[in-house]
């Protein structure tokens, strides 16, 4: 099964949207393989967003991401990377379809509540940054027989 890294950013946590977002992930059928509530270290935030280091929004993004607790997840399932990006919706909330997390709950690009890896390479890299030293549970769900043929 494919794994992806998902973050409920500080705005999502502060606005009391963790339960709503986790519920959408679970109801879709994706499996939560790991979950960690923490204030992200600056070095991890910089590494996570390294591809944007030269962009004007980078300092503000790092400051925001490290300003308060965020929820890091490893989410698992068939095509988990694509499905999680679709659940999140477009980066800019004005372009995010209703029914997506950003489309339903966000107003501004810099406060778009959620992150999900955009490729298998990014997923492996981001899981290593945020869960590299952690022991990840392995558990079976009986519901999988009703989610996958
Ligand atoms: N971002 C921002 N301003 C911008 C573009 C991006 O604050 O003009 C932030 C926003 O939080 C976004 C993140 O940088 O989610 C990463 O941008 P990317 O284009 O990779 O979007 P994502 O993969 O999060 O949809």
DSSP-assigned letters across all residues of 73-125: EEEEETTHHHHHHHHH--SSGGGSPBTBHHHHH--SGGG--EEE-SSHHHHHH
**Residue nearest ligand 1's atom 11 by CA:** 110
Contact (Cβ atoms closer than 8 angstroms) between residue 83 and residue 28: yes
Contact (Cβ atoms closer than 8 angstroms) between residue 82 and residue 23: no
To test the ligand 1 pocket, which listed residue (8, 96, 107, 112) has its Cβ within 8 A of the most ligand atoms?
A: 112
Contact (Cβ atoms closer than 8 angstroms) between residue 118 and residue 8: no
Report the chain (149 residues): mean pLDDT per 10 consecutive residues. Answer: 98 99 98 98 98 98 98 98 99 98 98 98 98 93 96
ipTM tops the 0.90 cut: yes
Q: Which residues are annotated as a binding site for ATP?
A: 9, 57, 85, 91, 102, 112
Q: Tens digits of per-residue pLDDT, 71-95?
A: 999 999 999 999 999 999 999 999 9
Gap between the Cα atoms of 66 and 119, Å rounded: 24
**Is the CB of 4 within 6 Å of ligand 1?**
no
- pLDDT for res 133: 85
Fold of 2-133: Alpha-Beta Plaits (3.30.70)
**Is the CB of 99 within 6 Å of ligand 1?**
no
- pLDDT for res 136: 93
Q: Which of 48, 52, 115, 130 is catalytic?
A: 115
Task: For residue 115, indicate whether it is catalytic.
Answer: yes
In the numeric block, which tokens belong to residue 92? 């800019």
């Amino acid at each position: 099964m494919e794994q992806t890294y998902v973050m409920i950013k500080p705005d999502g946590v502060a606005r009391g949207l963790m339960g709503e977002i986790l519920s959408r992930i679970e109801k879709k059928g994706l499996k939560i393989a790991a979950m960690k509530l923490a204030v992200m270290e600056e070095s991890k935030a910089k590494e996570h967003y390294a591809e944007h280091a030269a962009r004007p929004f980078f300092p503000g993004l790092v400051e925001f991401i490290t300003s308060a607790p965020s929820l890091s997840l490893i989410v698992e399932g068939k095509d988990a990377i694509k499905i999680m990006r679709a659940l999140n919706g477009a980066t800019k909330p004005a372009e995010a379809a209703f029914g997506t997390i950003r489309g339903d709950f966000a107003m501004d690009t810099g406060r778009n509540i959620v992150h999900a890896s955009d490729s298998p390479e990014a997923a492996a890299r981001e899981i290593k940054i945020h869960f590299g030293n952690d022991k990840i549970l392995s558990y079976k769900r009986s519901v999988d027989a009703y989610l996958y043929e």
